[in-house]
A and B are shown apart, each in its own frame.
Chain A
Amino acid sequence: MFNENAMKELEEIRLKYPNARAALLPALYVAQREFGWLSPEAYGAVSDLLGVPKAIARGVGTFYAMYKHKPAGRNIVQLCTNVSCMILGAERLVDFLKNKYGLEAGGTTQDGRFSLVIMECIGACGTAPAMLVNDDFFENLTEKYIEEILERYK
């Protein structure tokens, strides 16, 4: 079940579309935020609210890379390694995150502080290598700069 505030937000979202089904993607975002990840309970809540069968909701949700299907760390490090970032050293940064923080692609640090997601181009190619931490963009990354940035996220 969603709390009262989330319900209000979801009703507003629903009004943006001519039918309930079209609100599925935004509703999954709200569920992910409220439940922390798209757990069976989260899918149940979305399914009940929109009248979309659970199997359909899960089928759609698992198609998209940005929905989380296991509990994630408090901060999501989303590092791009696509070509523009790769040729400017993104692979070294992947190694750095592993060696310094024990953080591997798709994994979470033991203290639950960070999860790492390898991204397929985040549109910051002119300032590569780049990453998002949660909703914040960071560009022209170096090992030292990453260390500084991650200090800000507890």
Chain B
Amino acid sequence: MEKVLLKHIEHPISADIGEYMKTGGYQSLPKAIAMVPKDVIEEVKKAGLRGRGGAGFPVAMKWTFASADPKFPKYLLCNADEGEPGTFKDRPILEKNPHLLIEGMAISGFALSAEYGYIYLRGEYPAAKHILEKAIAEAYEKGFLGDNIAGKGVKFHLAVHQGAGAYICGEETALIESLEGDKGQPRIKPPFPVNVGVFAKPTIVNNVETLSNLPYLIGIGGEAYAKIGSPECPGPKIYCVSGHVERPGVYELPMGTSLKDIIYTHCGGIKGGKKLKAVIPGGISTPVLPPDKIDCPMDFVNMPKHGSMLGSGAVIVMDETVCLVRVCYRALKFFEHESCGKCTPCREGTGWLRKILGRIENGEGMEGDVDLLLSVSGNVLGKTFCPLGDGAASVVQNFIKHFRPEFEDHIRNKTCKVSG
């Protein structure tokens, strides 16, 4: 498959607008503007494009809701708060291919009749901020952003808003709160952002990778796009692989590529010929899988049938030397740190889970601790405003589901066999 999202990124000045235009960039924007907005949305619908941030929500459906709302102005927000541990798929687009995102946002802004856009960029990507700001200035200069795009009177303004180190701001309502100058605490829904979003106006929040699909999608048309990858959720997908593989990195492959193929074919298998112990397939919040369960198509529809989720497509591979109790403990330390504190089950539950896991890992676990972990996580799951609590609870439940003997060994032997 030709590369769409990571096209040309090896070129030393791939972020430059001239270079982007030389390789076909900014040709889809005038094509979209020559259409009527609802026909652009129709193409996205035909393409079957789903949001790449983790939830996999059909993009055209979200767009139709925002379009139908009579309030103006409308806002288009790009979620570049890539914070899900294990995820580094948006960073190459932001740093190496910023004009792909900008063109995608200008097309989307036109389709939604949104005149203002912001890229909510995580604070931990300082280089990307400068690259994006330079690219935005170039796009204004060439007339791809501004009050009269492509000379057709279309208006779309774009700015970068830098986050300040809060995982929760990747949740769309927390992102909106943060953009408004507040703590990043999720809002209760409804109302949904498509009706009452940032500055109380209809707002679309889409992930970097999602929006970066638009130039190609409009270029080849929805029907042709729908033929790439999984029929249920087509398109190219960036998988980012870390941990114990021979060749970790970002891989743009057709959506639905098997997890096993990603690890063994594309990444060259387990590092140093060691034995595979566990895989987290879609970022730390997604359920861990044991080695015999990795022959599954990595897409939004099929992964749940195989006991996990696609999430952000962030594959973390762990070999036999890894202590999974320690991984689970580290994950919960993360969730405790990042819980925004708004709802009790998550604020208290993540801390309790971290403490219990900590004592098990330190050889101070007590009989019944594994059931206690299941009980506490059961009281978090499904009881929080946003998916952060669910993620934390499901990490604990799935590590225990597949690797319970390792937790019990720690408690019985009062020590960790792997990390000592």
B220 close to chain A: CB less than 8 A? no
Given A83-B316, A125-B240: A25 touches B162 (CB 8 Å cut-off): yes
Which stretch in B46-54, B243-251, B402-410 binds the other chain?
A: B243-251
| B402 → A minimal CB distance (Å) | 16
Task: Name the B residues within 8 Å of A18 (CB-CB).
Answer: 199
B178 close to chain A: CB less than 8 A? yes
Which stretch in B64-72, B122-130, B298-306 binds the other chain?
A: B122-130
For chain A, which range describes its interface: under 10, 10 to 19, 20 to 34, or 35 or more residues? 35 or more
| B172 → A minimal CB distance (Å) | 16
**Interface contact A132-B184, CB-CB below 8 Å:** no
Q: How far is the CA of A60 from the CA of B185 in the complex (A)?
A: 11
Q: How far is the CA of A147 from the CA of B275 in the complex (A)?
A: 32
Q: How far is the CA of A127 from the CA of B250 in the complex (A)?
A: 11
Task: Name the B residues within 8 Å of A125 (CB-CB).
Answer: 85-88, 240, 242-243, 248, 314, 316
**Interface contact B243-A64, CB-CB below 8 Å:** no
| A55 → B minimal CB distance (Å) | 13
Q: How far is the CA of A124 from the CA of B83 in the complex (A)?
A: 11
Task: Name the B residues within 8 Å of A152 (CB-CB).
Answer: none
**Interface contact A59-B183, CB-CB below 8 Å:** yes
**Interface contact A121-B86, CB-CB below 8 Å:** yes
Q: Scan A50-76; emit 1 where CB is below 8 A from any B CB, else 0.
A: 001000000110011111000000000
- CB within 8 Å: A-B pair count: 134
A40 close to chain B: CB less than 8 A? no
A148 close to chain B: CB less than 8 A? no
Which stretch in B30-38, B97-105, B188-196, B329-337 binds the other chain?
A: B329-337
**Interface contact B183-A16, CB-CB below 8 Å:** no
Q: How far is the CA of A65 from the CA of B178 in the complex (A)?
A: 13
**Interface contact A52-B181, CB-CB below 8 Å:** yes
Task: Name the B residues within 8 Å of A137 (CB-CB).
Answer: 127
Q: How far is the CA of A29 from the CA of B161 in the complex (A)?
A: 11
**Interface contact A121-B181, CB-CB below 8 Å:** no
Residue with the highest number of chain B CB atoms closer than 10 Å, among A60, A64, A87, A135? A87
**Interface contact A81-B330, CB-CB below 8 Å:** yes
Task: Name the B residues within 8 Å of A5 (CB-CB).
Answer: none
Instruction: Identify which of residues 272-310 in chain B touch chain A, using a CB-to-CB cut-off of 8 Å.
Output: 280, 284
A23 close to chain B: CB less than 8 A? yes
Given A26-B162, A65-B165, A120-B337: A128 touches B327 (CB 8 Å cut-off): no
A82 close to chain B: CB less than 8 A? yes
State the B residues within 8 Å of A (CB).
82-88, 90-91, 122-127, 159, 161-167, 178-184, 199, 240-244, 248-250, 280, 284, 314, 316, 318, 322, 326-327, 330-331, 334, 337-338, 340
15 interchain pairs, CB-CB under 8 A: A19-B199, A23-B181, A24-B182, A60-B182, A63-B166, A66-B124, A66-B165, A82-B86, A83-B331, A87-B318, A120-B83, A120-B167, A125-B87, A125-B316, A126-B249
Closest CB pairs A-B (n = 4): A65-B165, A24-B181, A64-B164, A125-B242
